[in-house]
Amino acid sequence: MILVVAPHPPSGGGIFFIDFFLNLWNIYSMNNTITFTVKQAVEFIGGFSKPSKMPCHGFSIPARHCKTGAKLRNVKDSICSICYALKGRYVFKNVQNALDRRFAKLKDAMWVQAMTIAISGTESSGYFRWHDSGDIQDIDHLDRIVQVAKNLPQIKFWLPSREYSILSQWKKENGDFPDNLTTRLSALKIDGPAPTSIAKRLGLTTSGVSKEGFTCPAPDQGNKCLTCRACWDSSVSNINYKKH
């Protein structure tokens, strides 16, 4: 038996409902069964983050589990030495508990299916951000993110990462990322160069805290994206963020 609970419709929800049920059919076709309602799927993956700056939901895990970030945390002038996800509201107990819940589910066999249903059933903006806190853990984690993007071609995903070797290994073994997954190699140093040469070799984009390329307009518009979607746009080769 298939049990599905449709989400509450956003404004202009007709097209959203068509996309929602088409996505559910795609999931059903791949897995032969749907084991989650939207509510159950969201609970299973540990819920979403909703950064106030973003026009969409995100998915975050504890920054203390970053691989490369942990090494850079004590390096002077590294971007990770001023990591925003290790201070402010991120250190509140309820936020840390939510981050830990999400982290605990990453390896579960049902994670891809649950994440696909959760995003499909709740995200009406057409955009989604991976890791406003935390980073890719290993190639399996990255592969699961890619599978979710493939399951939801109507959603534009943005994945920033400093795990260059994991990204390189995945590309070597699998080829290109799906067109709806914009992956940005994050720079290592404040005012340091973007990892352009690596990005070009991998066919990816970059971001950093410097003066290179497109500058994020959020600081001049109430620290919000508003209508800007450059981070999700693979034609924007580099994004420059303000130090914070």
Radius of gyration of the chain measured on its C-alpha atoms: 18
Adjacent-strand bridge partners of 78? 189
Query: CA angle, 137 as apex, 163 and 181 as ends, to 5°?
Result: 65
User: Which pLDDT belongs to residue 242?
Assistant: 85
Q: Report residue 89's pLDDT band, with 50, 70 and 90 as the boundaries.
A: confident
User: Which pLDDT belongs to residue 211?
Assistant: 72
139-151 and 164-174 helices, crossing angle to 10°: 60
DSSP structure string for 195-223: -HHHHHHHT-EEEESSSSSEEP-GGGTTT
User: Which pLDDT belongs to residue 2?
Assistant: 37
Measure the CA–CA gap between 198 and 188, rounded to whole angstroms: 13
User: Which pLDDT belongs to residue 210?
Assistant: 78
User: Which pLDDT belongs to residue 59?
Assistant: 97
Q: Is pLDDT above 60 for 27?
A: no
Measure the CA–CA gap between 188 and 167, rounded to whole angstroms: 16
Q: Is pLDDT above 90 for 31?
A: no
Note the pLDDT tens digit of each residue in 127-162: 999 999 999 999 999 999 999 999 999 999 999 999
Measure the CA–CA gap between 59 and 106, rounded to whole angstroms: 11
DSSP state, 65?
Answer: G
Which pTM does this prediction carry?
0.84
Q: Is pLDDT above 60 for 173?
A: yes
Q: Which residue has the higher pLDDT, 187 or 7?
A: 187
User: Which pLDDT belongs to residue 18?
Assistant: 58
User: Which pLDDT belongs to residue 203?
Assistant: 96
User: Which pLDDT belongs to residue 65?
Assistant: 96
Q: Is 236 exposed, middle or buried (0-12, 13-18, 19+ CB in 10 A)?
A: middle
Note whether 70 and 4 are within 8 A (CB). no
Q: What are phi and psi of 158, to 5 degrees?
A: -125, 125
Cα end-to-end span (Å), the chain: 50
Rounded average pLDDT over 67-73? 95
Note whether 188 and 72 are within 8 A (CB). yes
Rounded average pLDDT over 45-60? 94
Measure the CA–CA gap between 226 and 236, rounded to whole angstroms: 17
Q: Is pLDDT above 50 for 3?
A: no
Q: Which residue has the higher pLDDT, 243 or 147?
A: 147
Q: Which residue has the higher pLDDT, 244 or 61?
A: 61
Q: Report residue 11's pLDDT band, with 50, 70 and 90 as the boundaries.
A: very low
Structure tokens at 222: 């109430």
Q: Is pLDDT above 90 for 21?
A: no
Q: What does each C-alpha distance from 203 to 18, 158, 172, 177 come to in angstroms?
A: 33, 15, 12, 9
**b (16+ CB within 10 A) / e for 62-83:** bbbbbebbeebbeeeebbbeeb
